[in-house]
Homo-oligomer: A and B are copies of this chain.
Amino acid sequence: MSRILSSQLSQHIGQRVTLSGWLHRWRPMGGFGFVVLRDRDGLTQAVVDSPEQLDGIYAESVIKVEGEVVAEPKAPNGVEIHNAQVTAISQAAEPPPFDLFRPMLNAQLPTLLDHAALTLRHPRQRSLWEIAAVSMDGFRSTLRRQGFTEIQTPKIVASATESGANVFKIDYFGRPAYLAQSPQFYKQTMVGVFERVFEVAPVFRAEPHDTPRHLNEYVSLDAELGFIRDHHDVMDILTGVLGGMIDAIQTQAARAVGILNLKLPAVPAKIPALHFTEALELVYKLTGEDARHEPDLSPQHERVLGEWALKEHNSAFVFVTGYPMVKRPFYTHSDAARPAYSNSFDLLFRGLELVTGGQRLHLYNDYLSALAGRGLSPDAFEGYLEAFKYGMPPHGGFAIGLERWVTRLAELPNVREAALFPRDIARLTP
């Protein structure tokens, strides 16, 4: 008899069926018991009349359950299996170190991460990744519909150019090389080819921070587009992308949303935006704290702005634009009217920075000046500069950190829960 999935059970009431999956839970009740089977679509309860069938079969063993489908209002999904015959397909060698059937995993985070192969099987943990997976799909499909081409750019690079610090060093056939901190230079180069590009790929940051917000390897959702007026065109594309990601979660991951009890934010047609200087004025007005001389926003300022956006605009998102040039990378385009400020932005989501983006320089001579201004030699940037030497349109883009997005959406205390196999300063396994 061919296998059906948990979600198909209600179409088979009165029939004998076979399900396969993991032994999520076994509850012996005396002369009978309940098996809860977990497959990729959900859970199924089965009543076992001869409980000795389960003797020696630990939780998480892979089993086959054969029996009759019966409507049962008290069972999960209103249906269960009666007269179940249980066969082990692949037995667990020992009992799991923590119970997977409980609503929340009862172990400390390091233990959970050590046992990722098991932890990720928990309905809540796997739902977190389902949100990540459909978010990637929503990101890609929204951009593809708008004429963007997917790219895949190298992760092994010749020089630690973008920030200089915090790069992982590789031995490349006896020569030094580095892991890419971002696809920034390549995605800009590819604007010269396809005008509109995106990439979903790992990035690597050798930041020696051990905090609940840092990963040393994460998935970056990058986009870059040409023929823009300024950074506001980039913000419009980003707004549409966020809407597409939320739509994908609602339509493709409804079960995960339910398990996690996610409150998905609405993405306004126009996300409220404050210039950096306005943002500091607003913080001053709201809190009495005068940070108007500061070149950056503190996490506390971001929280205040997030609360303001929610209260005044009913928006979980708020843009801060025009950060001072001194705090932005060399390829940042300045504001023609106020050259000390940039045509860049951060997007705050629930009071925390989620996305950074902006307009980039596009003229060759502006790059030469910007590099010289920072004391950098153009030689190290030769392949990148070639794009500008041969004509590039005004362009800009943004990058969303996938794990940070899921962390904010699910209001997780630690970004490590949003990665499958997180890498941090202390963790290289599993």
A residues apposed to B, CB below 8 Å: 3, 20, 22-23, 39-41, 58, 60-62, 89-94, 96, 115-118, 120-121, 126, 129-130, 132-133, 136-137, 140, 144, 147, 149-158, 168-173, 175, 177, 179, 186, 189-190, 192-196, 200-202, 204, 206, 208, 216-217, 219, 227, 362-365, 382-384, 386-387, 389-394, 402, 420-423, 425, 428-430
Residues in B neighbouring A382, C-beta threshold 8 A: 429-430
Query: With A and B bound together, what is the CA distance between A430 and B58 in angstroms?
Result: 54
Query: With A and B bound together, what is the CA distance between A169 and B168 in angstroms?
Result: 10
Which of B189, B195, B201 is in CB contact (< 8 Å) with A201?
B201
Chain B residue, CB-CB nearest to A202: B155
Given A90-B362, A137-B144, A420-B190, residue A62 in contact with residue B151 (CB < 8 A): no
Query: With A and B bound together, what is the CA distance between A93 and B390 in angstroms?
Result: 6
**A393 pairs with B90, CB closer than 8 A:** yes
CB distance from A206 to the nearest CB of B (A): 7
Query: With A and B bound together, what is the CA distance between A222 and B195 in angstroms?
Result: 29
Query: How many copies altogether?
Result: 2
**B421 pairs with A390, CB closer than 8 A:** no
**A62 pairs with B168, CB closer than 8 A:** no
Given A154-B217, A171-B169, residue A389 in contact with residue B194 (CB < 8 A): no
**B149 pairs with A389, CB closer than 8 A:** no
CB distance from A165 to the nearest CB of B (A): 14
**B40 pairs with A194, CB closer than 8 A:** yes
**B391 pairs with A91, CB closer than 8 A:** yes
Query: With A and B bound together, what is the CA distance between A3 and B193 in angstroms?
Result: 18
Query: With A and B bound together, what is the CA distance between A219 and B422 in angstroms?
Result: 21
Residues in B neighbouring A194, C-beta threshold 8 A: 40, 126
**A383 pairs with B420, CB closer than 8 A:** no
Residues in B neighbouring A420, C-beta threshold 8 A: 151-154, 186, 190
Given A23-B391, A386-B117, A391-B62, residue A204 in contact with residue B156 (CB < 8 A): yes
CB distance from A196 to the nearest CB of B (A): 7
**B383 pairs with A429, CB closer than 8 A:** yes
Which of B140, B153, B156, B383 is in CB contact (< 8 Å) with A168?
B156
Query: With A and B bound together, what is the CA distance between A22 and B388 in angstroms?
Result: 12
Residues in B neighbouring A422, C-beta threshold 8 A: 154
**B89 pairs with A393, CB closer than 8 A:** yes
Query: With A and B bound together, what is the CA distance between A151 and B195 in angstroms?
Result: 28
Q: Could you pull out 16 A-B pairs where Cβ atoms are within 8 angstroms?
A: A20-B393, A62-B391, A90-B363, A90-B392, A91-B391, A94-B389, A115-B386, A117-B192, A121-B390, A136-B152, A156-B168, A158-B428, A168-B170, A168-B172, A383-B429, A384-B430
Chain B residue, CB-CB nearest to A173: B425
Residues in B neighbouring A402, C-beta threshold 8 A: 152
Given A202-B152, A391-B91, residue A116 in contact with residue B383 (CB < 8 A): yes
**A189 pairs with B117, CB closer than 8 A:** yes
Query: With A and B bound together, what is the CA distance between A158 and B144 in angstroms?
Result: 36
Residues in B neighbouring A60, C-beta threshold 8 A: 390-391
CB distance from A170 to the nearest CB of B (A): 5
Query: With A and B bound together, what is the CA distance between A222 and B77 in angstroms?
Result: 34
